Every structure is written in C-alpha cells, then in structure tokens.
Chain A
Amino acid sequence: MNITLTVNGEARSIAAPETTSLLEVLRNHLGLMGTRYGCGLEQCGCCMVLVDDQPAYACTRELGTVAGRRVATIEGLGTPAEPHPLQQAFLDEQAGQCGYCLSGILMSAKALLDRNPNPSRADIVTALDKHLCRCGAHQRILRAVERAAASLRNGRPA
C-alpha cells in the first residue's frame, strides 16, 4: 500500500511498509541524501527534519506516522546557487568543519526562526542543544543563526 506525504512542497507517494523509518524513505526512496544517519537513537540530531514545521528525528520516525503530513529537509531549504539566509549565514561565518551535523542543525534552526524571529543566544542554545557537533564549531554555528535571524528580519525572504 502506498503512503502519501508532502516532501519539500511536493506530494510524494511511497511504496514501503509503514514501519519504514522516515530517514530510509528520504534517503533510499527519494534520493534526498542531505538528511544523515548518525546514531538511530535520537541522541545526535544528524537526521533532524521538520514534520509540519516541528523538528523530528527521521531515524526513528515511522513512515506511517507522517502520512498526509508536510516534511521539510535540507534540500528544500536552498541550494549552493540559491542558498537560504540560514545557509548563507553558515557560509559567511564558516560555521562548520566536517559538516556532517549541519543539515540537522540547520533544520532545527529553521524551526526556531520560523516561530521566533528574534531569538536570544540562550534561545538558540536551547533549540540546538539536542544536536551534537564533534568538530567544535558550536560558537560559529550560534553566530550564524544570529546572523540569519538578523538577515531575515531585515526583509530577505525565508
């Protein structure tokens, strides 16, 4: 039986058991490789996506629970040619080293800025605290989210 959902604004129909993880659906069925496997345990945040605008761990989220819902991934945020203000801010701050944790962090940051356009440093820390970064780019990442918030408030489209 096919399950339908909206991914990055497009309706998608998936032929897979409803217990399939959303992570596997995104990567192996839809070819959206920017959502990454880190632990499969909701401990690292590498697989974070948005389900109806809320951060969700794709590694444990079952396909059946997102039927009819909206899923957003890093690929829907922007591209190297047309980056989202968040992606641009991460480039401006060179916020990252290996980069493996970044797509999950960007999605949590997106959810934060959507609900709070003017977050404090503490708000950003709270929103990102479920994410691990092993390279130690945290301060740059926090600055990048602040920079993106300012850029979005100054009228650049989200």
Chain B
Amino acid sequence: MTAPVLPASLVENPRLDRWIKFQPDRTVRIATGKVEIGQGIVTAIGQIAAEELDLPLDRIAVLSGDTTDGPNELYTTSSLSVDVSGGSVRLVCAEVRAKALERAALRLNCGRDELSVVDGRFLQNGAATGQDYWTVASEIDLTQAVTGTVPPKPVAAYRVVGRSVPRVDLPAKLSGAAFVHDVLPADVLHARTLRQPNRGAVLASLDETAIQRAAKGELQIVREANFVAFVSPVESVAQAAAVAAPLHAKWSNLRRLVPEQQEAAWLKGQPSDDRHIGAPPPASPPRNLVQATFSRPYIAHASMAPSCALAEFRDGHLTVRSHGQGMHPLRQNLAAALGLPIEAITCQHLHGAGCYGHNGADDAALDAALIARHLPGKCIRLQWRREEEFGFEPVGPAMLVTLHVDLDDRGRPADWTTEIWSPTHVQRPGNGTGFLLASEAMANPPPEVAPFDPSEPRGGGGTRNALPIYDVPAHRIVHHLVMRPPVRTSALRGLGALPNVYAIESLIDDLAARAGEDPVAYRLSILSEARARRLVEMVADRARWTSRGAGGAGKGLGLGFARYKNRAAYAAVIAAVTVDETVRVDRIWCVADAGLVVNPDGARNQLEGGIVQAVSWTLKEQVRLDDQGIASRDWDSYPILRFSEIPEMQVEFVAAAGNPALGVGECTVGPTAAAIGNAVNHALGVRIRDMPLTRERILAALA
C-alpha cells in the first residue's frame, strides 16, 4: 500500500498537536497558519473542523498565524487556503475523531461501529454514554504525526460545510477595537519613520534640531545607518516629526526616474530574462496572422489602513504583532534582517485592513522591530503614514501583452503565442529576491538578487492565465521578465491573470467579429470542456445575451471568461456599460464554478469584492511616478471606485457536482476586466487596448 499524498502543510507540520487542542472550556482550538485578511478564512476553517469532528461551530476556536502554537503554512496567498490549510485541518480532524472514538470504545467495551458523535457527545447505538471528546482527550496522543489514512466524511454527509454561516470576526469589526492598529498598551511608544528614498540612497545629513522643533513634544530619534525613526509617547508628536523630516534630510546617491517609466510601453526593450514555454516555434510561416498588444499600468494595493505593527524587545526576546500574510515567514525574515536566532522571535497575527497581496505589512513589522531593539523593554507601535503606504508599498507590476495568433480557414486560432513583458510579480521577503524594506537601509544591506517569477507549477506570475482556455492546436508563451523596473513590484490579487485575460478575451471577441459570429457562439465553438461551456451558457442566459443587439450607441454588453490559473475556480462575467465620455459599469452578472464551496455567502462576498476591485482597476487606477518614485500618494491622486460608481451585481455558484474545493478570491478579476473591455467595444465600436479605460483614452479612441 502506498502512503497517502498529504497536503504540503501536513508534510511540513505533521504533529497533530500543531493543529488541534482540546481546551478545558469544552472548546477545540484549531490552529492554522493562514490568516484572516477579510476573506473569511478563519470562519471557513472553523466550519471544516466542526464538520469532521461533529461539533457545533461555536465549540471551535480558530487560532490563526501564531509562531508559538500554530503550524507554519508560509503565506496566505494564491486562493489556496481552503484547499491546503482546509484540506489539512480536514484530515487532522478526521484522524483525531477516529482516535477519540477508539478510546471511547475501549472504555465502553464496545465496538467502534456502535459509536456515533452528536454535538461532540459520543452515543452508543444512539444512546448517551457520558463520554465525549473531553473525557477521552487526555488519552489521545496528539504528539503523533498525522497519517492521512482516516477517510474524511463523505461530502453527502456534510451539514456545516456548504452552508452559509456569518463570519466570526465581523461583530468586533462593527463595534470597536478589532485591528492591530487598535492595540494600545498603557506605556506604548508611538513611532513613525523617515524612509530611505531608494535602495542605495545615503543619508548625508539630518537636522535633528529642526525636527525636534517641528515635533513640539517629547521625541526620541532612532538612527541606524540610513534608517530613521521618530518615537514619542504622544502619537501626533511622532507624526509631526515624520512629516517635517524629509525637509531636514539630505540624501546622496538618489535615483532619478524619467516619466516614460510609469507606462507599460517602457517595458519593451528593457533588459529581460527571456523564457519560452509550451509548443516549439511554428514550423511554417503564418497564413493569417492577427496581432494585438494590450497593457496594464502599475497599480497599488491601496489598503484602507496604513501598515502597522507592534514590537517589544525584552530580555533578549522579540515579540512582534503584525497583519502580514504569513507569521512564520515573517519570523524567519526578521531573524535574518536583525541577526537574531529564530528562537528569540515570536510573531502573532492580528487583523489589519484588506491587503489584496504583498503590501507594506511585513515592512512595518521590521521597522517596529528595529526601533524596539534600540529601546528594549518598551512596547513600540509603528504606523506608516498614508503617503508612506502609497509611496513605499510594493506595487502590482505593469504589463505589456502581445498576442500573435494564426487563424485557420474558419477563422479559429490554429497557433497561439502570448508574448509578455513584465517585472516580477512576487518579491515577498524570504522568497529569494525580496527583502523587508528597511533591511536595505542597514549598513550592510542584503545583496541585490536577480528577480524571478513564480514557477509555472505554482501558477506563474506574469504568465498566469497567459494561455487561452480554448481549443487551440498549438500554443506557447514568450515571457520577457524585465529585470530593473522603476519601482518595487510584488504580488497583487490575481498576478498576471488580469492583463492576460483582458488581452485574450478582447482578442477572442475581435476574432468573433472577423468571423462575423456572435462572441458567445464563437467561444462555444472552440471550447470543448463541459464545465467551462456550461458557465458561458449560464451567464449568457442570466444577462439575456441573445437580446444584446448590434451595439454602437453608447450602451454595451460584453463577456469575459477564464479559469483562474487554468486550474482553479472558473468565472464567467458579463458587464453592461454605458459609455459617454467616461465608462460606467451598470451591471455585472457572474457565474462561477469553485467546486465544493465551504461558506457560500462568504464566497459570494469574495466574488463580489473581486469584481468591484477589477472594475476599479480597469476604469480608474494607475500608479503615477515622478523623478523620485511613486508620486500618487493619496486618494485624490490615486482614485478608486466609489459608492456612486458601483455596478449592480448578480453572482452565483453552480453546484459542486462532486468537484473538490477551489479557491475563489481571485477568479473574477480577469473575466471582469475583459467583460468591461468587450462591453466598451460593443458600446463604441472601438477597441481600447490600454488600461485603465479613462476619459482621455475614450476620447482618443473616438477621435
């Protein structure tokens, strides 16, 4: 018999007690390395545990992101948490349930088959036994490694999983303190930083007297090489110092950018690491080649809250509380940056505002830790300023996508090449090329490493969703990974999926038009996978596609479709738009297939959020640069979608039909952008290939 294939999280954290603990108050603590970032994962993990243990949901207490007591599951990314962490919790709970019943059967001198579990109590042939998880808990050896050999419940028996339940974290967030930002110990010191403008910049002079004067209160200035922080018992004093500081700091070795660098078009021709993925180059010259180039600029995570962290260095031990996406990686990265043994660091996750990828959260944790090490025994609360969050968080990379498609005699793609120019999509600290920001300001910064992207087995970065889901006899990707972008880039919801799906689905609509066919009918003619076809047909039905008409009168209906990473959740989206001088998205219909959905309402919330964010990116967002770096540092210069611009939405999941759970957080973003682009094309009769679809671009297209 071969051993079962365990989820990666169980291979890394095999001991049962890393995951589960029976607590004296008759609750079960389930630990996960994945963290709550507004996506509802803590609730979903709780549902999975309650299901396997046959416990009411309120008997499950989920511990999330804790380096002392919880498993190391790296970062909370890529819509993988339900699959990987949920899959691990499912196997652990099934195994512990079996062990508990084994012990109870021994005590009751009965067969295990005679026992069942109802609300955590063990029944023998339906009758009470006085035994439950807690009576036998001390006899279960949770130091053992999980085997993965106990089969979890069949899906048909589910009562908690698959049912909508309210998020457990929401009540606190609706009534008061709930975030790491809200933790304020009595003797806390507030801190702000002066940021090194760019890697390699050297602080030539700092007029501390002038800053002290501007701060108007008790202020300590902490300096370590090119890292500067302002610390005060009064928050506004630290803030005032940080606001004044750039005027009183002189830097040498400042970088100078040029305006063209803010545009995706700049990427072409820059030094790049080039890869060829997929089919070999076509053997014969193309017969009917269609080419088109699409672009997406740099975009920001633009979290509602500036990043924040608490740190305390006491008796040689550093304790950090952070809203980063992975506490075990943060612990490792802090150890490396500070030169501390990893055992001397504890990291705990506390809630923050939504991040949607790699923003300033981890960097703020190092800032706080650096200050704490200078001021041992003091609790440091470090918060970034709004302009710091916009100005120094890693941004989602600009991308340029050129499609080269050779058509057959029927106007269908016969040979397909997606050519991509993009900086890296992942520079998370510890992944190989990324570092916690302030480590670059230290006397011995970590060496610069050539960037790379996530591998294809991990879904790729710039190449994510670069291949069409349609039936194409030969396809390939040419990937130019641009080595030296003007700004730090890293993961933002969906990575390359948004520009790639926008490009592919725009071109598919154009090919349908060339063939004189309806876009839905054209798609279905080259889409053989049954799950995929069904979604396209369903969303067309919901939006009454057949009555869409010829378009061209300022009103448009457009479709976008993709399967995230070509192997996760499917989403088909139709957008209805009105185009005047600007684009307004009036309505969105979305049908998604994510297999088994743990918490349907929570998952619908994720589909809706992805749609709204994609509408915002597609219509409005672009990070602006000046000669020093990011210039769009507030909500006026970086506008996002508002209440008055939100479309009506109708989202639904198809039934699981026995398919396993697929993460949903990112599946709607590409299809939504593409649906808008196609709807605008339907409304105007012109194709806009560069995002965002601003007033200027609409007017230029119509000119």
A142 neighbours in B (Cβ, 8 Å): 643, 646
B354 lies within 8 A of A100 (CB): yes
A91 to B181, CA, bound (A): 22
| Interface flag for A78 (CB, 8 Å) | yes
Instruction: Specify which of B175, B176, B383, B609 is in contact with A137 (CB 8 Å cutoff).
Output: B609
With A46-B304, A134-B640: A96-B174 Cβ-Cβ less than 8 Å: yes
| Interface flag for A36 (CB, 8 Å) | yes
A140 to B613, CA, bound (A): 15
A94 lies within 8 A of B643 (CB): no
A98 lies within 8 A of B175 (CB): no
| Interface flag for A90 (CB, 8 Å) | yes
A21 lies within 8 A of B236 (CB): yes
A27 to B188, CA, bound (A): 13
A41 lies within 8 A of B386 (CB): yes
| Interface flag for B83 (CB, 8 Å) | no
B608 lies within 8 A of A137 (CB): yes
With A37-B306, A41-B634, A137-B609: A24-B170 Cβ-Cβ less than 8 Å: no
Q: Mark A75-112, 1 if CB is under 8 A from B, else 0.
A: 10111100100010011001011111111001000000
A39 lies within 8 A of B175 (CB): no
Contact stretch, chosen from A50-58, A124-132, A150-158: A124-132
CB distance from A81 to the nearest CB of B (A): 9
CB distance from B170 to the nearest CB of A (A): 6
A43 to B649, CA, bound (A): 26
A98 lies within 8 A of B354 (CB): yes
| Interface flag for A9 (CB, 8 Å) | no
A34 lies within 8 A of B177 (CB): yes
With A27-B184, A46-B304, A94-B602: A39-B176 Cβ-Cβ less than 8 Å: no
A39 to B239, CA, bound (A): 12
Q: Mark B161-185, 1 if CB is under 8 A from A, else 0.
A: 0000011011111111111011010
Q: Mark B406-441, 1 if CB is under 8 A from A, else 0.
A: 000000000000000000000000000000000000
A125 neighbours in B (Cβ, 8 Å): 643-644
| Interface flag for B235 (CB, 8 Å) | yes
A87 lies within 8 A of B386 (CB): no
B648 lies within 8 A of A99 (CB): no
Q: Which residue of B lies closest to A27 (CB)?
A: B184
With A24-B235, A37-B181, A132-B635: A80-B172 Cβ-Cβ less than 8 Å: yes
Q: Which residue of B lies closest to A99 (CB)?
A: B173
| Interface flag for B7 (CB, 8 Å) | no
B608 neighbours in A (Cβ, 8 Å): 136-137, 139-140
With A20-B236, A28-B235: A91-B38 Cβ-Cβ less than 8 Å: no
| Interface flag for B267 (CB, 8 Å) | no
The count of residues in chain A whose C-beta lies closer than 8 Å to any C-beta of chain B is 54
B385 neighbours in A (Cβ, 8 Å): 40
A132 lies within 8 A of B354 (CB): no
A46 neighbours in B (Cβ, 8 Å): 304-305
B386 lies within 8 A of A33 (CB): no
A106 lies within 8 A of B601 (CB): no
A28 to B190, CA, bound (A): 10
Instruction: Specify which of B184, B302, B611, B635 is in contact with A136 (CB 8 Å cutoff).
Output: B611
| Interface flag for A38 (CB, 8 Å) | yes
CB distance from B610 to the nearest CB of A (A): 7
Instruction: Specify which of A38, A41, A141 is in contact with B305 (CB 8 Å cutoff).
Output: A38
Which of B338-359 touch A at CB < 8 Å?
351-354, 356
A136 lies within 8 A of B648 (CB): no
**Which residue, A75, A91, A134, has most C-beta atoms of chain B within 10 A?**
A134
A134 lies within 8 A of B353 (CB): yes
A38 lies within 8 A of B175 (CB): no
| Interface flag for A44 (CB, 8 Å) | yes
A137 to B634, CA, bound (A): 21
B635 lies within 8 A of A32 (CB): no
B302 neighbours in A (Cβ, 8 Å): 134
A97 lies within 8 A of B172 (CB): no
CB distance from A31 to the nearest CB of B (A): 7
| Interface flag for B13 (CB, 8 Å) | no
| Interface flag for B636 (CB, 8 Å) | yes
Main secondary structure on A side of the interface with B: loop
A80 to B170, CA, bound (A): 9
With A24-B236, A43-B634, A44-B635: A83-B175 Cβ-Cβ less than 8 Å: yes
CB distance from A112 to the nearest CB of B (A): 12
Which of B29-45 touch A at CB < 8 Å?
37-40
B305 lies within 8 A of A36 (CB): yes
A80 lies within 8 A of B171 (CB): yes
A94 lies within 8 A of B174 (CB): no
A66 neighbours in B (Cβ, 8 Å): none
B175 lies within 8 A of A94 (CB): no
With A43-B634, A94-B166, A125-B644: A80-B175 Cβ-Cβ less than 8 Å: yes
B174 lies within 8 A of A90 (CB): yes
A131 to B644, CA, bound (A): 10
A121 to B648, CA, bound (A): 12
A39 lies within 8 A of B635 (CB): yes
A142 to B179, CA, bound (A): 24
| Interface flag for B612 (CB, 8 Å) | yes
**Which residue, B353, B612, B641, has most C-beta atoms of chain A within 10 A?**
B353
| Interface flag for B605 (CB, 8 Å) | yes
Which of B555-605 touch A at CB < 8 Å?
601-602, 605
A139 lies within 8 A of B649 (CB): yes
A27 to B649, CA, bound (A): 37
A150 to B236, CA, bound (A): 41
B176 lies within 8 A of A99 (CB): no
B166 lies within 8 A of A79 (CB): no
| Interface flag for B694 (CB, 8 Å) | no
B648 neighbours in A (Cβ, 8 Å): 139
Q: Which residue of B lies closest to A38 (CB)?
A: B304
| Interface flag for B303 (CB, 8 Å) | yes
Which of B6-46 touch A at CB < 8 Å?
37-40
**Which residue, B173, B236, B601, has most C-beta atoms of chain A within 10 A?**
B173
B40 neighbours in A (Cβ, 8 Å): 97
A33 lies within 8 A of B182 (CB): yes
A147 to B234, CA, bound (A): 41
A133 lies within 8 A of B636 (CB): no
B643 lies within 8 A of A136 (CB): no
With A94-B167, A125-B644, A142-B643: A136-B612 Cβ-Cβ less than 8 Å: yes
A133 to B613, CA, bound (A): 10
B179 neighbours in A (Cβ, 8 Å): 36, 100
B38 lies within 8 A of A39 (CB): no
Please name 8 further chain A to chain B contacts, defined as beta carbons within 8 Å, in addition to the given A98-B353, A101-B353, A136-B612, sorted by A numbering.
Answer: A27-B182, A33-B182, A36-B305, A43-B636, A96-B173, A134-B356, A135-B609, A137-B608
A-B contact pairs, 21 of them (CB 8 A): A31-B184, A33-B181, A34-B177, A36-B181, A37-B305, A44-B304, A75-B175, A80-B172, A83-B174, A83-B175, A91-B166, A91-B174, A94-B601, A96-B38, A98-B38, A126-B644, A132-B635, A133-B304, A134-B354, A138-B646, A139-B648
7 closest A-B pairs (Cβ-Cβ)? A136-B612, A99-B173, A98-B38, A98-B354, A33-B182, A100-B353, A136-B609
